[in-house]
Amino acid sequence: MSEKQSLEVLDFNARSSAAASAVKHYGEALLEAAKRDERIVCLTADLTLPTETDLFRDGIPERFHQVGIAEANMIGIAGGMARGGEIPFVHSFCVFATRRCYDQVAMQIAYPRANVKVVGVIPGLTTLLGVSHQAIDDMALMRALPNMVVIEPSGPAQVRAAVAAIAAYDGPVYLRLKRADGAEKAAEAASDFKIGEMRVLRWGTGGLIVACGMMVDIACDAADRLAGVGVDVTVVDMATIKPLDPALVDLARKMPLIVTAENHSIIGGLGSAVAELLMENDVHVKFRRVGVRDTFAEGGTTSYLFEKYGLSAGALAATVREAAKSAAS
């Protein structure tokens, strides 16, 4: 690859030297799964490198399909393949894998309970590109589809475990991924990942933070800050947004307040799912949602956007403290 080509690829696909050298946790896990199960096929819509499927392309070329910039067609093709016994993993950015082809996902994957895994990268406010590439409603859309499982792992180990789990699961899944860029904290032990089971990462009686995806690390940061001012909170990693773990109900009953945290609109995603579960189980508790507050955002660095739109550890900790004061009054 010439130096000029290399620069072009970095600009669009990686954007930082750290990312360029980051381990392709998803791509490696998919290739491993496909080596175990010859029914697994891989489809991508002109986004091979950004979805780490270059490893699959080079490792198992006969099961790799480049469909071009045509997401609706890709979903239909996957539906046809699944009906013939294949297990297609389809890849794009989160926005284009969901909103762009929603009807196709509904009819060719969700309704027939096709064994297709829809995998999106670039969740929420994690792109310089701007509003066209920001997926702030993808979890809401996928959650609304009957039969669809929705998973957002929180880190590399969980990404790997989730890929193995969904490959073994017979049915449609939406997997929402933030690619590793090398800046991750040491991964939590996630080898016990099971679809539909929450993980309690730390205990405290001062409140409960329920988070998914990138917000799990941020929730742990917030918990550290709160501990510094004498508030010990429980942090739950709710990697499966649908079906939501009903064990949350009993945990919630022990808590004075609950705050959900998601890199997504507060409408229709994790916060909505938790609220629905708790209300229908008569858990009446102080409740707040941290996420994108019913607005479109703009392009920018993740740290800038998370600060601006209230997804930072500081904002999350402040929300817990505000709720605690409200609870006490």
Partner 1 sequence: MTSAITRERQPAPRIRDALELVRIARSLRRDTINLVAPTGQGYVQQGLGAADLFAVLYFAELRLDPSDPHWTDRDRFLLSTAHNTAIFYATLAARGMVDAAAVADYCKDGSVFEVNASERIGTPVEATLGSLGQGLSVGIGMALTARRRGSSARIYVLLGDGELQEGQLWEAALFAGSAGLSNLCLIVDDNRMQVEGHIDKVVSVAPIAEKFSAFGWVAEEIDGHDILALLAALDRARERDKPTCLVAATLAGKGVPSLEGILAHNLKLPPDVAAEALAALGDAEEAK
Residue with smaller CB distance to partner 1, 66 or 301? 66
> Does residue 84 interact with partner 1 by CB under 8 A?
yes
> Does residue 171 interact with partner 1 by CB under 8 A?
no
Residue 96: alpha-carbon gap to chain centroid: 15
> Does residue 82 interact with partner 1 by CB under 8 A?
yes
Of 87, 91, 109, which Cα lies nearest the Cα of 34?
87
Token pair recorded at residue 18 = 């750290």
Of 294, 13, 299, 302, which Cα lies nearest the Cα of 131?
299
> Does residue 158 interact with partner 1 by CB under 8 A?
no
> Does residue 44 interact with partner 1 by CB under 8 A?
no
Interface stretch with partner 1, choices 5-13, 105-113, 165-173, 207-215 (CB under 8 A): 105-113
Cβ pair 237, 152 in contact under 8 A = no
> How far apart are the C-alpha atoms of 211 and 213, rounded to whole Å?
7
| CA angle, 242 then 246 then 251, to 5° | 125
> Does residue 85 interact with partner 1 by CB under 8 A?
yes
Stretch 108-127: interaction string toward partner 1, x if CB under 8 A: x--xx---------------
Residue 202 β-bridge partners: 235
Listed in sequence order, the residues at least 6 apart from 124 whose beta carbon sits closer than 8 Å to its beta carbon are: 134, 135, 136, 213, 214, 262, 263, 264, 292, 311
> Does residue 76 interact with partner 1 by CB under 8 A?
yes
> Does residue 89 interact with partner 1 by CB under 8 A?
no
Dihedral over alpha carbons 151, 153, 159, 161 (to 10 degrees): -70
Listed in sequence order, the residues at least 6 apart from 235 whose beta carbon sits closer than 8 Å to its beta carbon are: 200, 201, 202, 208, 209, 211, 216, 219, 220, 223
> Does residue 97 interact with partner 1 by CB under 8 A?
no
> Does residue 42 interact with partner 1 by CB under 8 A?
no
Among 73, 147, 281, 301, binds partner 1 (CB under 8 A): 73
Of 94, 137, 135, 90, which Cα lies nearest the Cα of 114?
90
Please work out the total of residues on this chain that contact partner 1, with binding judged by CB under 8 A: 29
> Does residue 230 interact with partner 1 by CB under 8 A?
no
> Does residue 172 interact with partner 1 by CB under 8 A?
no
Residue with smaller CB distance to partner 1, 28 or 86? 86
Residue with smaller CB distance to partner 1, 80 or 130? 80
> How far apart are the C-alpha atoms of 81 and 55, rounded to whole Å?
21
Among 10, 19, 20, 70, binds partner 1 (CB under 8 A): 70
Among 51, 98, 104, 272, binds partner 1 (CB under 8 A): 104
Interface stretch with partner 1, choices 2-10, 99-107, 124-132, 134-142 (CB under 8 A): 99-107
Residue 292 β-bridge partners: 265
Give least dist CB 266 to partner 1, A. Answer: 30
Residue with smaller CB distance to partner 1, 45 or 162? 45
Per CB under 8 A, residues contacting partner 1 are 41, 62-63, 65, 67-68, 70, 72-86, 88, 103-104, 107-108, 111-112
